[in-house]
């Protein structure tokens, strides 16, 4: 692939929605910078798969988005391989319950730094390269940014803040850079400490007009649309939720 291929940096791209977004953009001829924090093996395997399909088209970078120094280094290392950056996808996210009565300062720092501070300073560091190429930014929002999820005040606040940043950036960075968001509904159920039991999952589906979960391709395809096929769209947050936001 020639050096003129467009380049996208995707945070949290080692698995789940981030990995599917990387694969989708790669299929459309993009070079990829795959960010990961701790999932090194998954990130390396994804990069190896992409490079087998098209040599020298993907690159992995480790960074802890909670650390300002790592955020700045990530931006620098993302631009270096191909000396350009055309898109930034702020996908990485911290999600787990933190009820107000028991939430700690560490919870605040983990959730707000990952979900809100890191996207701000990462875009700031990437902005010259994005402006140079008429770039695009897509932020991963959440339907809970508008209709809060019980016992997740920090997560909901962080995503509401990211939604506000999306609209602010769309105004402030135009006409050089477009900024949009994607707000998923039930696509992949949460893992680990945020996992939901079957009863909770069923309650969500009962509020979803399409009565099913979505597919990672639904999110990846929407992100690719906003980056590649929507030159006159900016400042929008698209709900990809099977209609669930109608019945919250």
Neighbour order of strands in the sheet with 58-62: 58-62, 31-36, 7-10, 87-90, 136-140, 178-184, 237-240
d(CA 160, CA 146): 7
Set 36, 59, 144, 155: catalytic member: 155
122 vs 26, 77, 152, 240, CA distance in Å?
Answer: 22, 12, 24, 25
Q: How many CA atoms lie within 13 A of 213 on its CB side?
A: 11
Q: Which helix (H) or strand (E) holds 62?
A: strand 58-62
d(CA 69, CA 58): 23
d(CA 214, CA 212): 7
Task: Please state, as a whole number, how many other Cβ atoms lie within 10 Å of the Cβ of residue 40.
Answer: 12
Q: Which two tokens mark 164?
A: 């506000």
Known catalytic membership, residue 59: no
Catalytic site residues? 155
């Amino acid at each position: 692939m020639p050096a003129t291929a467009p380049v996208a940096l995707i945070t949290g791209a080692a698995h789940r929605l981030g990995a599917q977004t990387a694969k989708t953009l790669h299929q459309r001829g993009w070079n990829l910078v795959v960010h990961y924090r701790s999932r090194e093996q998954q990130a390396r395997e994804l990069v190896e798969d992409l490079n087998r399909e098209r040599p020298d088209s993907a690159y992995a970078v480790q960074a802890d988005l909670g650390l300002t120094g790592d955020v700045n280094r990530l931006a620098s290392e993302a631009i270096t391989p191909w000396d350009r950056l055309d898109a930034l996808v702020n996908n990485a996210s911290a999600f787990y319950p933190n009820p107000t009565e028991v939430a700690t300062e560490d919870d605040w720092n983990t959730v707000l730094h990952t979900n809100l501070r890191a996207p701000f300073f990462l875009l700031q560091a990437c902005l010259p390269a994005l402006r140079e190429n008429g770039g695009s930014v897509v932020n991963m929002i959440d339907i809970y940014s508008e209709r809060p999820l019980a016992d997740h005040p920090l997560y909901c606040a962080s995503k509401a803040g990211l939604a506000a940043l999306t609209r602010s950036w769309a105004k402030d960075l135009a006409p050089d850079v477009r900024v949009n968001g994607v707000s998923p509904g039930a696509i992949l159920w949460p893992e680990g400490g945020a996992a939901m039991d079957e009863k909770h999952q069923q309650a969500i589906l009962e509020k979803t007009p399409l009565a099913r979960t979505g597919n990672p391709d639904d999110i990846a395809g929407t992100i690719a649309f906003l980056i590649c096929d929507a030159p006159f769209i900016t400042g929008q947050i698209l709900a990809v939720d099977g209609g669930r936001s109608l019945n919250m």
